[in-house]
Amino acid sequence: MSLTKSLPRFTAAAAAATLLFGLSACAPAKPEVTPSAEGVTPAVTVHAIDNKYEPAEVTIKKGEAVTWEFVGTNRHDVVAADGSFVSELVYEGSFTHVFDEVGTFSYICSIHPEMRGVVTVTE
């Protein structure tokens, strides 16, 4: 019967899919941390509090910097959707990134996906 013949193949495919899904769920790929810019005066400071960025949306000019200050009681980080700026996951301190490209850069906190922010960089 065709059903019994095709069953093992279906089971193997399902197992492989489960394994792949399981692996990606277990290891969320946080991009590599990028160094914080030193000696730069930010155009804007964003506070990472529990659990949001304040303000969540900022606009700066090309070549300017944003500093994030981690002031919540929880650990937070800043992870750009495109990986162009990525901070450590920390309880306190700050992280600065200089934006040399025009565009819209969204980011999240790697452990609080509901924490979302956007940096808009204009000419």
Q: Which is nearer to Cu ion, 46 or 109 (CB)?
A: 109
Q: Which is nearer to Cu ion, 4 or 73 (CB)?
A: 73
Min. distance of Cβ 47 from Cu ion in angstroms?
12
Residue 77 burial by Cβ neighbours in a 10 Å radius (0-12, 13-18, 19+): buried
Residue 78 burial by Cβ neighbours in a 10 Å radius (0-12, 13-18, 19+): buried
Contact in structure between 92 and 71 (CB atoms under 8 Å):
yes
Min. distance of Cβ 105 from Cu ion in angstroms?
18
Residue with smallest beta-carbon separation from Cu ion: 109
Footprint of Cu ion (CB under 5 A): 76, 109, 112, 115
Per DSSP bridges, beta strands 65-70 and 44-49 are parallel
Q: Which is nearer to Cu ion, 112 or 120 (CB)?
A: 112
Min. distance of Cβ 30 from Cu ion in angstroms?
12
